Structure 1
Amino acid sequence: MSGDGLGLLSYAQTRVLVDDFAPSYRFYRETLGLPLKHRDEAGGEPVDGPYACFVAGDTDLALFQRAFMEAAVGAEHRPRDGVDAVVVVLRVADVDAAAKVLESRGVELTAAPADQQTWGMRVAHLRAPEGTLIELCQYDS
């Protein structure tokens, strides 16, 4: 990975910033079933945050308490404006099957499984507790 002089080694992770950590943690851990990459210092699960890192295929998907990120960069706390700024895309083997599993876990899909012919894939959409848009996608490599 070049980075054009930056010394860029790899894409490290996607970090989703959340205000209410516990419901978001339960969603990614229990509802989506993502395995933890690290446990807390006591060997337990970091249910109350402020940080959790999950394994999502070959990369990491992390949750981070938004107030901590704001403090780290010296930013003032701002409320979310309701506009999607990021989509977390998870590739699955079968979108329809994954959608059924999530619905059985109480998830209400934002958009049911559908073919997106111009994208060359089948997708379904849902939202995490704080509104982050999640896309399940299925395509042949």
Structure 2
Amino acid sequence: MSDAALGLVSYGQTRVLVDDFAPSYRFYRDVLGLPLKHETPGDIPESDDGPYACFSLDGRDLALFTRAYQDAAIGAEHRPREGVDGVVVVLRVADVDKAIEVVRDRGAHIVAEPADQPAWGMRVAHLRAPEGTLIEFCQYDD
């Protein structure tokens, strides 16, 4: 069931936040054998250093992202791993600004207001679920 007021378009991806990108990247790529989503420059790391890689399996995306970059995107101080985000649930919406207003009206805890992320090619906003899971709304054109 989709929520028309929220403008939910689709499930975006599961994003695993990592501190040491290279070993995680090699694990998902080489050990698990997950295929990279895109094989074009700019969409995959130029090296094992990241900060981002997206794998796709059966049309679902699993991304690796350096925690320091995610912390910067939401304006949070980069903290030791203990007790911090390990996964970001990413939901694609038609209009990030409208979706944030809908969930704000519903009592959501907004941690980062809508902002353009040119390096990512999208507009994003972040909120937290009741137990602290980071949720990202993203808006981008196909």
Give the counterpart letter for 2:63 in structure 1: A
Contact 1:39/1:45 (<8 A) preserved:
no
Cα deviation 1:6-32 (Å, max 9, x = unaligned): 100110100001110000000000000
Shift in alpha-carbon separation, 1:58–1:50, aligned structure 2, 3 A: same
The whole-number CA distance in structure 1 between the counterparts of 2:73 and 2:84 is 24
Q: Provide the TM-score with structure 1 as the length reference.
A: 0.53
Shift in alpha-carbon separation, 1:80–1:57, aligned structure 2, 3 A: same
Q: Which residue of 2 aligns with 1:16?
A: 16
Q: Tell me the C-alpha RMSD between the 2 structures.
A: 2.7
In the alignment, structure 1 segments of 5+ residues that lack a partner are 87-141
Shift in alpha-carbon separation, 1:30–1:13, aligned structure 2, 3 A: same
Q: Shift of residue 48 of structure 1? A: 1.4
Q: Answer yes or no: is 1:37 the counterpart of 2:34.
A: no
The whole-number CA distance in structure 1 between the counterparts of 2:2 and 2:43 is 37
Q: Provide the TM-score with structure 2 as the length reference.
A: 0.52
Shift in alpha-carbon separation, 1:53–1:72, aligned structure 2, 3 A: same
Shift in alpha-carbon separation, 1:8–1:73, aligned structure 2, 3 A: same
Secondary structure at 1:29's aligned position in 2? Answer: helix
Q: Which has the larger Rg?
A: 1
Q: Share of identical aligned residues, percent?
A: 67
Structure 2 matches for 1:101-112, cutoff 5 A?
none
Higher strand share: 2
Give the counterpart letter for 1:52 in structure 2: A
> Which of the pair has the greater relative contact order for Cα pairs under 8 Å at 6+ separation?
2
The whole-number CA distance in structure 1 between the counterparts of 2:50 and 2:84 is 25
Q: Shift of residue 75 of structure 1? A: 0.4
Q: How many residue pairs get matched?
A: 86
